[in-house]
Structure 1
């Protein structure tokens, strides 16, 4: 299991069916983004929600009393109220009979959570004149880049991040 970049997903909305073929496309996007950014191991948790759910999360975690299209919560960020967990060796061995560390083999470190508003994605796809799949893919890649440290607070950061997103989407065949 080591060396894997994995996607765990769920849908808490009833606006659009999330098909197995679309999940396969998201897994392809994750693989392409990981290759581009040299991220080869980790788990991304993706949840599709409605506007009410993302509105509440946006209000709770960002202090913004409105819905948004995508939220990302990176596991590597530590806020003031969070504590870092240190794992110390207590002397107990986690090795299997062959002397291999099977716990480390089975554990994939979480990179973080991405929450996407499906109604926002549908509206934005119509506004930009491309498919809903492309918009959802764009939001997913955008969220992933946030998880690994990219931001777009300045114009220069935005140019870099959006160019990376576009390159990944084009490799996956999700054109405008």
Structure 2
């Protein structure tokens, strides 16, 4: 059976294994399905270092510091709203949802900081980014942020990676 989604992953840092790439793809597909994305789409992923993501953050957002994940949605959506088949690229038949860039250094540092596995932190950041691509935001401290956090935890639960996962679980 052909894969419905195209999820290319590029890495400019060493040590990104095929199993990590497969895990990222699985997390993205799970998040898309959980949000009702039932059409073929494309999500481009870049895995980089703190320096790499800091350069992007500085150039695009004017913030000269590293961050954990950056999301670049192709559409201006609100949560629950999805692009349609008419938004597909005629050449590929895929709806381009956008790009995400992850700092592998931040994944590892935040996993240590929060006391959970690299795998959980990576999954969280990937889900977080997919939700941004689908119009979720957390700029306020109220209902938008709460809604996004609830969706993140629900999707991580579907993946079998709840918040309670402790250190020592499979890492990335």
TM over 0.5: yes
Q: TM-score if structure 2 supplies the norm length?
A: 0.79
1:159 maps onto 2:146 in alignment: yes
Q: Equivalent residues in 2 for 1:2-151 (5 A)?
A: 4-14=4-14, 17-40=15-38, 41-77=40-76, 104=90, 106-151=92-137
Aligned residues: 150
Please tell me the root mean square deviation across aligned C-alpha atoms, in Å: 2.2
Task: Spell out, residue by residue over 1:76-120, the C-alpha distance to the aligned partner (whole angstroms, 9 max, x if none).
Answer: 24xxxxxxxxxxxxxxxxxxxxxxxxx948431211110001111
Larger-Rg structure:
1
Higher relative contact order (CA 8 A, sep 6+): 1
Q: Contact 2:11/2:48 (CA < 8 Å) preserved in 1?
A: yes
Q: Contact 1:2/1:106 (CA < 8 Å) preserved in 2?
A: no
Deviation at 1:2, TM superposition (A): 8.9
1:158/1:144 CA distance change after superposition, 3 Å = same
Moved more, 154-163 or 110-119: 154-163
Gapped runs of 5+ residues in structure 2?
Answer: 77-88, 166-172
